[in-house]
Structure 1
Amino acid sequence: MIQTREIREASGVSQRAFSERAGLTQSHISQIESGKMEPGLSSFIDMTRALDLELMLVPKKLVPAVLGLVKAQATPDMHIHAGQPNDKRFARAERLVKKMKQLYGSSAELDRIEDILRFLRRVNPSDQEMQLVRELIARLEPYQASSEAAPIVRDIAQNLQRLRNSIAHGVSIEPKPAYSLDDGDGDA
């Protein structure tokens, strides 16, 4: 229930206001948020509704599809907490970029990587897309304390940008030639 506190705070609701909305004592909410107590089903439902959320039962095998639909329809002011394994990977990658910014200062490439990671976290990439993200971030890790990172960071930013574009626009990740010569073109 530790996520309860994160969601409440992200919604900008104080613990006192939350307890009033949910019809529970502030002490009870505090114990739930600290993990000292688990709420009963009716308390849990009251808490979710107090945060303007709705409890939904979904078959386990359909959870990824439902989360993908929810994230696709989410607006920037919505706080979606999926708890997926990818969330930890993105958080680790974002910490790495933040550390590099602290060590070497901000750069256009690091800012772009950071923005793309936020985008990818929201769209719930496929396993193949996530594998590419993992590989690119793994390439970045050895350079986190190296001044030779600039060309690697630039390459990773470009590759992540291609992935982002392919997801956002539904196009192939492979670059296309600016022009092509067709064998059947009779105008030559």
Structure 2
Amino acid sequence: MKLLYGAFLSLLLLTTSCYSKDKSGQEAIAFCAEIHKNDLKIIFPDISIKEKIAYVLMTQYKFDPEMSPDGSRATVGGHAYIQGSDLITLQSMTVLTINNNILMDAVVFFIKNERALEGFYYTQVKNDGKNPFSSLVYIDPVGNVIHLNVSTYGDNDCLSMFPKSLIDKLIIDK
């Protein structure tokens, strides 16, 4: 099982590395949210956060995602920017499940320094026009599940927590 998990993450890492080299500068904002520091510390113990709340900005490359031959899955690269006491940048790979052209769920993997971080994030998409990442769970490598309390902020509130130089480089779909 560990070998299969490692092989899968290696494949995702290779795919994300290709995306980051070919599509840089074409990122759109997927969502911006606040997350309680206790939840964030479980997942990223090395992140320095002095305040009770940190902010997570997820982006996706603005191009057609890679589709599976049967159209049931798509992958898209991007970044996760985490603003605590410092700004931390991680690469991301989102795998989407699609049924009859309707997004069903998403799994997000994070990569730092060319290595996939352990665990992954999962959300079931409700297609109700709300943020699909509002019911995010983290699943660690041994199967423990942590339900994250992610509150989505309005664009201006959350985005203002990040450096203007970063926001100016991103595409904001209105």
TM-score normalized with structure 2 length? 0.25
Between Structure 1 and Structure 2, the one with more strand by share is 2
Whose relative contact order is higher, 1 or 2, with alpha carbons under 8 Å and at least 6 apart?
Answer: 2
TM-score normalized with structure 1 length? 0.23
* Greater Cα radius of gyration, structure 1 or 2: 1
